Structures are given as C-alpha cells and as structure tokens.
Amino acid sequence: MTDVVLVSGGAAVSPFTTPERAARSGLAAGNSLTALRQALLDAGVRVFTAPAGIGQGAVTEDPGWQGFGDVPTVLPAEWTINAVGSIDDAGASLCRFLGHLADEYGMTDVQLVGHSMGGLFCRSAVRQLHEGEVPIAPRGLITLGTPWTGSLLGDYVTGAITLEDAHGDAFTTEVLTRSAQFARDNSQGAADEVAIGYLTGVEGWNARQAGVLDGIPVTVVAGDRFAEFAEPESLWPHDGLVATRSASAVDVPEGVLPHVDRVLRPDVHSIFFADAAGLDWETALTWDPVVRDLVVRAATS
C-alpha cells in the first residue's frame, strides 16, 4: 500500500496533517482536503497533508470560511507551500516537505493527489524529485480540477478570455470579476502562471516538463457542472474555476503526459463553489464520494 500526500491548490490554506494528527478545530485538513483525508484513513491508508498558506510562512490556522485552528504540529516556512506564488517555488517547497516525510516517517514512495493548482505543484515537485536527492519515488499522480492548460482566473486576468465569453451567464460573470479582484489583491505570481499563455506552447511550462511523468500513471478528474454554452472551449463547460477541457488535459502533448486516465464528473471545483451555487458539498470534486473511492483505489491497488 502506497503512502498518499494530499496537496491543496492556489490560494488554499491547509494544515500539516499525519494519520494521527490534524487540526483540532474546524475542518481537520482544511476545506479542500478533509473529506479525502478521512476516506483514506478509513481505508487504512497512511496519508499526509502538505501545509499551504497564502504567502510564505508557517501555517498555524485558517480563520477564513470553513477554516481550521489548533494545529498540533506546525512545520517551518521552507516546507510550506506558498499557495499564491509561482508553480516551481511551490514545487520546491513540496519537494522539501517530501524530504521531511522521508526523514521523519520513513516514506519511500508516494501517491500524490493534487487539487486545482496543487496538481501543478505536484508535477513540479516530481520533476525536482528526479533532479534532486530526496529518496522518494512517485508511484502515481491524481489531479482533481487541475488547470493543465489554464484556469478561468488566469485566462481572464491575462486577457485570454473576456466577459463576453461568459455569454451573460450571471454565475460565470461573477466568478470572472471576483477572481480578477482576488488576483489583484493576493497573487504573488500564481494568477499569471495558471493561464493558457504561460502553460502552453512550444516554450510553455508544460513543454518544459516533457519526460517528467514517464512511467508514472496519471489520472485526471474534471468537473463539468456549468455547461450552459459550448464555446469557447477554453471556458465552457467548467467547474466554476477550471474549464473541463483544461482539467481533462486534452491539449497536453503525449510527450508531457504519456499515461493518462480521464474521469469526468458533474461536479464543481470546491465546496466554496458548491456553497455559492446552492449545491450540496458532495458535488465538489474533493468531496464527491465517487472521487473519494477513486483515490482510495489508487492508493490501495
């Protein structure tokens, strides 16, 4: 049975958790990862949550919506993902965190599960594992709503999509405008990098990852809850933050993604979007029972 490390996405705050320890108030592993962590624990899997915060620094609490507090073990900043910074800086922090797990918990191989931008952080960490001296072998990668080729936020901020592309849909228009304001207030590089212009093309970030995932089975899970329009494909359908085509890694070259299974669910990006749309939390990618079972099977097979 392979150990699992759960990695949250852009602008998400997550505590460091072990199988025995988690935040003692609020959601034990943060609002992105708590349900996945519990499903893995219930299946007897040894699972850890990578610490992440908005800005570089140790994570002690998340006082925001559906947050957490009373974290029993706080790791130093160099092992903590800056969830609003660059992909490769986050990957370096995640790689150092995996080194900590190797040293302190005897981890030798790992199934990585990344939600949203966390999937990109995982891919960067895998590359840096290959390049460095951390003695951990990545045995698989699962991405949930990961923007392989761009996100609504990044594409709107960089001008790749416009408000006109929302076709007047009230929810999508609000997502775009509020995301842009959040990016202006908080991004330290993440917004510009989670965009089609940065990720794709012959000199894009994806192209520079060629060979990194060779021999590593990858499963990509996408949501298509919002499907009122068909065009442009860089926006419709989407899960609230990532277009289905991007989360499905449809346009990623085979040299970058040679071994992939694609799963499509009628889900939203997160419980934040479920709450905003008046939907049950189990319609969120990381809380969907079908997705939870998929992750458990990957860890226990």
Q: What is the pLDDT along the chain (301 residues), one digit of tens a residue?
A: 789 999 999 999 999 999 999 999 999 999 999 999 999 999 999 999 999 999 878 999 999 999 999 999 999 999 999 999 999 999 999 999 999 999 999 999 999 999 999 999 999 999 999 998 899 999 999 999 999 999 999 999 999 999 999 999 999 999 999 988 888 888 898 999 999 999 999 999 999 999 999 999 999 999 999 999 999 999 999 999 999 999 999 999 999 999 999 999 999 999 999 999 999 999 999 999 999 999 999 999 8
pLDDT at 145: 98
- How far apart CA 130 and CA 188 sit, in angstroms, is 26
- Distance between CA atoms of residues 137 and 217, nearest Å: 13
Domains and CATH numbers, the chain: 3-300 (3.40.50.1820)
